[in-house]
Amino acid sequence: GQLLGSPIKINQTPCGGGAITLAFDGTKILAVWVSEWTSDGTQNGCWDNGEHCESTNVLGRFITKSGVGTPGAVSGNNFWISESPVSRHLPSVSFDGTNYLVVFPEDTGLPNVCGDNGCNWNISAYLLTTTGTLASSKITVTSADGQQLYPFVTFDGTNYLVTWTDMTDLTN
């Protein structure tokens, strides 16, 4: 296809906002990413004078759909899907015809700290409405011991399927 318009700046914070994932609901696109910025405007989990920060929050923003000769544009403001002092990264999102499911790995230990047995990452999720409000409390997809990372979610018309990498045994 042909690009329409200029790049769209989805995240308006001066730093942070990586690992963007997208889902389309038939009308608009939901962009989801992780950031170290909190809802009160401070950075979470930073060290080295703010040079490195831990992504701890999951945010979203809607983008209007492009039309013939009309580029898409951001719609509304960023909104918090999940805010926490624990590390999160690499979210995934899918749409089921009514709600979005946003999944992400979440470090259940203290921020930036892994014990002698390694980190403990779970896969968590939230359902969101098409207006960006939470439609569920936090859903624990897996809380198996060890590192559960790199989730991916899709919807087959009836059920969501969430996959992830189980890094419990790092010898293989």
pLDDT in tens, 60-111: 999 998 777 777 888 988 898 988 767 778 899 999 999 999 999 988 765 5
| Model pLDDT, residue 115 | 56
Q: What is the pLDDT of residues 142-159, one digit of tens each?
A: 998 888 999 999 999 999
Closest CA to 61 of 87, 85, 28, 90: 28
Task: Band the pLDDT of 29: cuts 50, 70, 90.
Answer: very high
Pair of tokens at residue 55: 């992504």
Measured distance CA(168)–CA(61) in Å, rounded: 33
Measured distance CA(151)–CA(148) in Å, rounded: 8
| Model pLDDT, residue 65 | 81
Within the chain, strands assigned E span 18-24, 28-35, 46-47, 52-53, 57-64, 74-83, 92-95, 100-107, 121-128, 139-142, 148-155, 160-166
Residue 31: CA count within 13 A, CB half-sphere: 24
| Model pLDDT, residue 113 | 56
Measured distance CA(76)–CA(73) in Å, rounded: 10
| Model pLDDT, residue 172 | 44
Task: Band the pLDDT of 49: cuts 50, 70, 90.
Answer: low
- More confident: 48 or 98: 98
Task: Band the pLDDT of 16: cuts 50, 70, 90.
Answer: low
Return the residue matching tokens 């409390």. Answer: 137
Closest CA to 147 of 119, 110, 172, 111: 119
Answer yes or no: are the C-beta atoms of 92 and 152 closer than 8 Å: yes
